[in-house]
Amino acid sequence: MKKHTRNTTLALGALGVVFGDIGTSSLYALPAVFAVGQKHLAVSKVNIYGIISLILWSITLVVTIKYIMFIMRADNKGEGGIIALIGLIKRSLLGEKSKWICVILGLIGVALFYGDSLITPAISVLSAVEGINVVAPSLHEIILPLGVITLTLLFWVQRFGTNSISAFFGPIMLCWFLAIGSAGAWHIFQHPAILATLSPLEAYGFVVHQPLVAFVAMGAVILTLTGAEALYADMGHFGREPIKRAWLYVVFPALLLCYMGQGALLINNPSAISNPTIYLFPTALQLPMVILATLATLIASQAVISGAFSLTRQAVHLGFLPKMTIRHTSVRETGQVYLPFVNLLLFIGVLLLVLIFRSSGQLAHAYGLAVSITLGIDTILFIIVMRVIWRKSLLFVLLFAPIFLALDFVFVASNATKIFKGGWFPVLIAVAVLIIITTWIKGKKIISKEQTRREGSLHEYVKKLALLKPPINRIPGQAVYIGHHQDLAPLALHVAVEQLHELHQKSVIVSIHVKNIAHIPKNERVVFDAIGSTADSISHVTLNFGYHDSINIPKTLENFRKLSPELDFDPDNTSYFVSLAKVVPTKKQNMANWRKSLFCLMSNYSASSGDYFKLPTERTIEIRSLLEL
């Protein structure tokens, strides 16, 4: 009984976090579909039936079957999303070259997510406030300013976290789904023939008789699937079962009823295509629905922004991006984080989108390409997981792959036709992000080789210390030296010995290792190694973290004081020595000059290791070393 109650509670929470994006797509999807091509598609009965059927079956195939039934089974210690798939493949027996190709493919998906993170708040909020056109057409001029103000407030409140209001997200979204589902059901009752769209034959007939129109329309049908990847990406927060319940029992039925209801409405009133969701409701309820729609789109936008923060933190932990300031906005929930720099960039990007495109209809042209490519990448990586990790038969894979790859290809090809109408924007953002990620990875690899050469073996270095004549001066107190690799002597230790000629009586070298899994249990985070003799009082510990874990060195050391007498000290009253590498470009032909300049900029202006590792500011000594690139 308790498990059932917990799953129900989590399912309600998932409504507010996972399904906001796909749930509010009904505000702008159908108007975008009927505006395909250079001319508006006629709002006729044949077209309505065919397109509604395409929408219903796209949602069924992609979300219910592909994600709920298949892809969500591929979890990385309970976590989902592209990063989780990359982690699974990196730990597989696949060849190194093949692994690297998969990683690059996954990173493309990660880069495309940032494009989506910009468009979702812009198109969602604008589509909601555009409901004013229905309620009070004379107030049309305030829509854009109101949208800008709403988005500004949305990004401004990010610094405070959403812990205090997130409890209302689930109930508000539940009201939203019940409202659009009920309104859709009423219109279906008025025109029951629309139930014919539940048959795939309607979609098939539309494709056969109007193949070109159907192909172009698929570029807008993809809008009904925005947020599908969120089901998988947020699996670690709620679990597969609660997300599955929320989808099958609430979201899926509500969306089916809503889209069929919109189709029934349009048959009787084609002019309602300008805002079919608001027109589903009687005049007296339209203003409350505009308010509810605005709240729902803000929740959808919040989920995407939080997802961007979470994804960036994962990328930083895994070494795909430089260190950034990461602030935790909740004492209880470690997953709730705020990244000021990312928030600022998202805000600037969203405002640019709103001011450039000015309406949800125009923004719909920019939406779709990034989503469709991301869905396709998920499919490809999942196929690799099925074959390489799960060892599924080739016959099984061949039954799965063609259906979904063909559907993904149609979505990508159809959206490619919108590249010059706005589709270039998320692609441009994705290319920029991918350049940043690949430049950082390549630059770190080069710098790591130089650092490894200069640091040398940790065990050999400690042995040399014991043989020094005269012996190194030992000063009172404890010191922690932060290293980047468990087998290497940190440059900060070199400086302390070779230039300061002193070492604290108790010295601990701490290496950080972030693994390709989401979480490391707290009792498995520390691996102790007494590398010196007892008299040396020099020891080494490796702190293991998952890419979803909060990295806090003092707090972690505090939890393991009883592991060894060498670790029995107060981390808050310890001196911390951090090696900082100041990267300078050279004329070596190991990297393009513009990439060197970009890497140096990122490296030299990244967040300090002290802030990143949550070290006490007043007790942290940063030692800079020049490293050539």
Within 10 Å of residue 383's Cβ, how many Cβ atoms?
Answer: 18
Q: How confident is the model at residue 288 (pLDDT cuts 50, 70, 90)?
A: very high
pLDDT digits 0-9 by tens, 562-589: 777 777 778 888 888 888 777 778 778 7
Q: In sequence order, what are the beta bridge partners of 543?
A: 512, 526
Residue 350 has pLDDT above 80, yes or no: yes
Residue 269 has pLDDT above 50, yes or no: yes
> 335 falls in which pLDDT band (50, 70, 90)?
low
The structure tokens 């430049």 sit at: 439
Cα–Cα distance measured from residue 411 to residue 44, given in angstroms and rounded to the nearest whole number: 24
Is the pLDDT at 546 greater than 70? The verdict is yes
Of the listed ranges 50-54, 172-176, 450-454, the one predicted with least confidence: 450-454
Residue 530 clears pLDDT 80, i.e. is over it:
no
Which pLDDT does position 259 carry in this prediction? 96
The chain-wide mean pLDDT, for the chain, equals 83
- Listed ranges 97-106, 245-254, 355-364; the one with the highest mean pLDDT: 245-254
What is the structure's pLDDT at 249?
A: 92
Dihedral angle at the C-alpha atoms of 380, 398, 247, 359, nearest 10 degrees? 50
pLDDT beyond 80 at 80: no
List pLDDT tens digits, range 186-206.
999 999 999 999 999 999 999
Confidence band for 526, pLDDT divided at 50, 70 and 90: confident
Residue 1: predicted pLDDT: 47
Q: Which of 327-331, 396-400, 444-448, 598-602 has the lowest mean pLDDT?
A: 327-331
Per-residue pLDDT at 251? 93
pLDDT-derived band at 36 (thresholds 50, 70, 90) equals low
pLDDT tens for 291-303 read: 999 888 888 888 7
Mean pLDDT of 254-269: 94
In the predicted model, what is the mean pLDDT of residues 320-340? 72
Cβ–Cβ contacts within 10 Å for residue 171, how many? Answer: 12
Domains within the chain, CATH numbers bracketed: 14-422 (1.20.1740.10), 452-628 (no CATH)
Q: What is the mean pLDDT of residues 1-20?
A: 73
Percent of the chain with pLDDT over 90: 17
Q: What are phi and psi of 628, to 5 degrees?
A: -90, 140
Kindly state the average pLDDT of the residues 362-367: 79
Across 501-523, b (16+ Cβ under 10 Å) vs e yields eebbebbbbbbbebbbbbbbeee
Q: What is the mean pLDDT of residues 170-199?
A: 94
- Quote the pLDDT of residue 38: 46
Q: pLDDT band at residue 248, thresholds of 50, 70 and 90?
A: very high
User: Tell me, what's the pLDDT at 62?
Assistant: 93
Q: What CA–CA distance (Å, rounded) separates 181 from 449? A: 59
3-state class of 626 per DSSP?
Answer: strand
Instruction: Tell me the average pLDDT across 150-178.
Output: 82
Report the alpha-carbon distance of residue 603 to residue 335 in Å, rounded: 26
Give the pLDDT mean for 470-496: 81
Contact 218, 406 (CB under 8 A): no
Is residue 237 within 8 Å of residue 131, measured between CB atoms?
no
**List of residues 6+ apart from 49 with CB closer than 8 A:** 194, 196, 197, 202, 206, 263
Does position 163 have pLDDT exceeding 70, yes or no?
A: no
- DSSP string of 502-537, one letter each residue: EEEEEEEEEEEEEESSS---GGGSEEEE--S-TTTT
Of 230 and 144, the one with more pLDDT: 144
pLDDT in the model for residue 124: 84
The pLDDT confidence band at residue 174, using thresholds 50, 70 and 90, is very high
Of the candidate ranges 28-37, 138-147, 451-460, 532-541, the one whose mean pLDDT is the lowest: 532-541
